[in-house]
Chain A
Amino acid sequence: MSKHLTRRGLIKTGVIGGAGLAVPTIFTGAANAFTNEPAGGTVTLGFNVPQSGPYADEGADELRAYQLAVEHLNGEGDGGMLNTFSSKALEGNGILGKKVEYVTGDTQTKSDAARASAKSMIEKDGAVMITGGSSSGVAVAVQGLCQEAGVIFMAGLTHSNDTTGKDKKANGFRHFFNAYMSGAALAPVLAAQYGTDRKAYHLTADYTWGWTQEESIKAATEALGWETVNTVRTPLAATDFSSYITPILQTDADVLILNHYGGNMVNSLTNAVQFGLRDKMVNGKQFEIVVPLYSRLMARGAGENVKGIFGSTNWHWSLQDEGSKAFVKSFGTKYGFPPSQAAHTCYVQTLLYADAVQRAGSFNPCAVGEALVGGDSSIEGIDSPANKGYLFDGLGNGQVLYRAADHQCFKDVLVVKGKDNPTSEFDLLEVVEQTPVQQVWYEPDNPMFAGGNLGSCNAGA
């Protein structure tokens, strides 16, 4: 045996074998028309959600929604929103007759880990679409990877303007709303509640989402007459916000805006309430706190402190339209509690992707992208050349436009308030106003979204 295995031979075999293994399958799929073209009777979707780390509970809820969506697409269960969706292309027999299967990855809410798990699902598991995530940093990173790999990315919960702004990509699509829309929806309600003569103090999480959130709500409130006293950046890793909150006592600010999410939000809000800010009178007015982006799942951590505090959300389970009711019923029956906004956006994104494939008649990402935002439909009451894309209804937010110009969904935004007398542990927020889409509309060249380029779609292979 050892006679045949020479040193030279071993090295040669090793080099060739190693090189073969090292070539990503993205570059070896030349036989196909596009990356991971489904062969046989099944198609694989990749669900990339935080399964560990601080956002794991939100990730778990996203995964529940994905599993429900797969069931419904394959014709199992009660069909959920397939019954209320305005497009009737899906037949409950999978996508294009192929049974839907899925693989999952763990983003850990870290860009590197999220890219690695998405890459593995694309290369090893043959996922033809990647979806999920609970952070804008992750969404931007995975979106870039999907663009290079030639697969569609259906973003999960990501609220930074950059996702469909300066970092937008032809292969990436976002159903969730964004920081600009939160600001535009929230500001008029705040002005109506607290008056136009207010002085705001911002605490902002020091990363991409925080910056765009601060910029958006600051612009929207200043346009209505509010003055911005100060904007203070806080480290993302901060846990005790007392030393950022006590300086507010020294200013004449009468509103505190917390551009914080998740654990940051729970702690800064709890600390602010502990320091008696909500009992304070400044300039003869009651001091108020605002949380521009609410997550019901995480707001539970702040307990009683969320009562009466205004914010915005993409969707809420208490909505009474047919789509929302159908989704809450399927989800609640299967899991025993109502879905979160993260679960909703992920479920809807999966249905929208499947529907686009069905209408396009192909899994080719370029054809699918065309179907997702194609068409000449537009939202009534907005006079703009950019008001063009795919219009749909029945998925829980009323009429929604998937805009062709930047792959961002435009729909009504919910302004919510922490409920004073919750009837259950899920009943934390009440919807104060459904701000019409016309009020949160912006042009694609808005300075807050400028600097990016969709580029052209990449089918890979």
Chain B
Amino acid sequence: MDAIILQILNGLDKGSAYALIALGLTLIFGTLGVVNFAHGALFMIGAFCAVTLNKILNLSFETVDPSRTDFLGNPMVVKTPYVEGWFGPEVGASIIDWSVPLSILFCIPIMLAVGFIMERGLIKHFYRRPHADQILVTFGLAIVLQELIKHYFGANQIATPAPDVFRGSFDFGAMLGMDPNVIIYPYWRLVYFAFAALVIGGVFAFLQFTTFGMVVRAGMADRETVGLLGINIDKRFTIMFALAAVVAGMAGVMYAPINSPNYHMGMDFLVLSFVVVVVGGMGSLPGAVLAGFLLGILESFASMNEIKSLIPGIDQIIIYLAAIFILLARPRGLMGRKGVMED
């Protein structure tokens, strides 16, 4: 029982990352009709916003401490971050400690700009080209972006810890009157889940309850008619692209403390996120979210030892296996509707 609860929690946690990325992918596919293989790179750039802000806050002035020596026997150069110099050691240290949550604010303008430049500068020219062309150009763009990141940040992972107060785990078992230390879950992962729920809720509310969202939804359903009504739908779609970039970027920022970012973390998520989109139903936002959580939970259960001992290697293929069965039963995906995204 404990094991099942824990794996459900794991699944919800993995699922939130899948859902956040798949949500952005579906937004772009639904609005612009572009299959964006560079979406994983946006997630990665988000995580590197957290790395960058952490580096900026750690910019230091150097003082020489003659009482200590470095590895070559020269006097040790001691680095003190400027923020600690300006605000005092305690305030400075806690600003650095909170760099990941602060990065959320830092990433929003950056991701808006990246999204805007990407759409206006490159992807716009591929709207009327076949999907194969779009896949090639966005995949190429993803490789360029990750090589750029590798050039500046190196290939190794960079530790980007969460604030101290979120270290450690929450004991669900003890709260429910069970044995302590059995059902525990890391605080930051719970924060990630809550954050994902908030963002997903926010996007849905934005599309559902604002005029802008209504126009976008109308455009998704019938682009031509909306255009005939005199609405500049392209401009709104560009904004949606930038918004999807921000969603992916924020997902990346919050993910940085879970697994230290490196340049190919986007690719690791990308393929899975496409499976999520297809399983959820092309163009269906609720479908993407549902499929994200569903596949996340399935993946977690498949890595349980009891199941692995029955079917070795099941943890590596479960997502694709599930996708096959779901698509056989429902060729349009879980929540795909007839006529949507079909020629």
Contacts and interface: CB of A to CB of B under 8 A. Distances in A.
Contacts of B183: 249
A41 interface: no
Interface in A235-294: 235, 237, 239-240, 242-244, 246-247, 249-250, 263, 266-267, 270-271, 274-276, 279-281
Contacts of B80: none
A300 interface: yes
B189 A333 contact: no
A274 B258 contact: yes
Interface residues of B, number: 48
Interface string B241-263: 00000000000000000111010
B101 to A, nearest CB: 17
Nearest to B72: A332
A328 B264 CA distance: 32
B6 A249 contact: yes
A369 B72 CA distance: 36
B168 A276 contact: yes
Contacts of B76: 423-424
Contacts of B224: none
A317 interface: yes
Interface in B257-310: 258-260, 262, 264-265, 268, 299-300, 303-305, 308
Interface stretch (A49-57, A163-171, A215-223, A451-459): A49-57
Given A300-B156, A423-B68, A276 B186 contact: yes
Nearest to B166: A274
A246 B7 contact: yes
A271 B316 CA distance: 19
Interface stretch (A179-187, A301-309, A386-394, A438-446): A301-309
Given A274-B189, A276-B169, A301 B260 contact: yes
Contacts of A274: 167, 169, 186, 188-189, 258
Nearest to B73: A329
Contacts of A297: 156
A298 B157 contact: yes
Contact of B259 (A237, A239, A423): A239
Interface string A57-96: 1100000000000000000000000000000000000000
A274 to B, nearest CB: 4
Interface in A394-414: none
A244 B168 CA distance: 18
Contacts of A42: none
B262 A263 contact: yes
A434 interface: no
B155 interface: yes
A33 interface: no
A426 interface: yes
A274 B185 CA distance: 8
A338 interface: yes
B315 interface: yes
Nearest to B71: A338
A266 B184 contact: no
Contact of B260 (A235, A246, A266, A317): A266
In terms of DSSP, what is the predominant structure of the interface of chain A?
Answer: helix
A243 B10 contact: yes
Contacts of A235: 315-316
A250 B161 contact: no
Given A54-B264, A56-B150, A274-B188, A302 B304 contact: no
A230 interface: yes
Contacts of A281: 181
Which of A230, A232, A263 counts the most B-chain CB atoms under 10 A from its CB?
Answer: A263
A242 B155 contact: no
A332 B71 contact: yes
B3 interface: yes
A230 B188 contact: no
Interface in A96-135: none
B260 A333 contact: no
A242 B264 CA distance: 20
B71 A250 contact: no
B260 A247 contact: no
B181 A280 contact: yes
Which of B155, B182, B303, B316 counts the most A-chain CB atoms under 10 A from its CB?
Answer: B155
A107 B271 CA distance: 25
Contacts of B11: 243
Contacts of B62: none
Contact of B3 (A247, A266, A304): A247
Contacts of B169: 274-276
B71 A424 contact: yes
Contacts of A332: 71-72
A270 B154 CA distance: 20
A57 B156 contact: yes
B157 A301 contact: yes
A242 B193 CA distance: 14
A333 B184 contact: no
Nearest to B156: A57
Given A243-B303, A423-B76, 6 more contacts: A56-B154, A235-B315, A271-B259, A276-B186, A301-B158, A305-B159
Interface of A: 53-58, 230, 232, 235, 237, 239-240, 242-244, 246-247, 249-250, 263, 266-267, 270-271, 274-276, 279-281, 297-298, 300-305, 317-318, 328-329, 332-333, 338, 423-424, 426
29 contacts: A56-B155, A239-B259, A239-B268, A242-B10, A242-B14, A243-B10, A243-B299, A243-B304, A243-B315, A246-B3, A247-B6, A249-B181, A249-B182, A249-B183, A250-B182, A266-B157, A266-B259, A267-B157, A270-B258, A275-B184, A300-B156, A300-B158, A301-B159, A301-B262, A304-B159, A304-B161, A332-B72, A333-B72, A424-B71
> What 5 pairs between A and B have smallest CB-CB spacing?
A303-B159, A301-B157, A56-B155, A276-B169, A274-B186
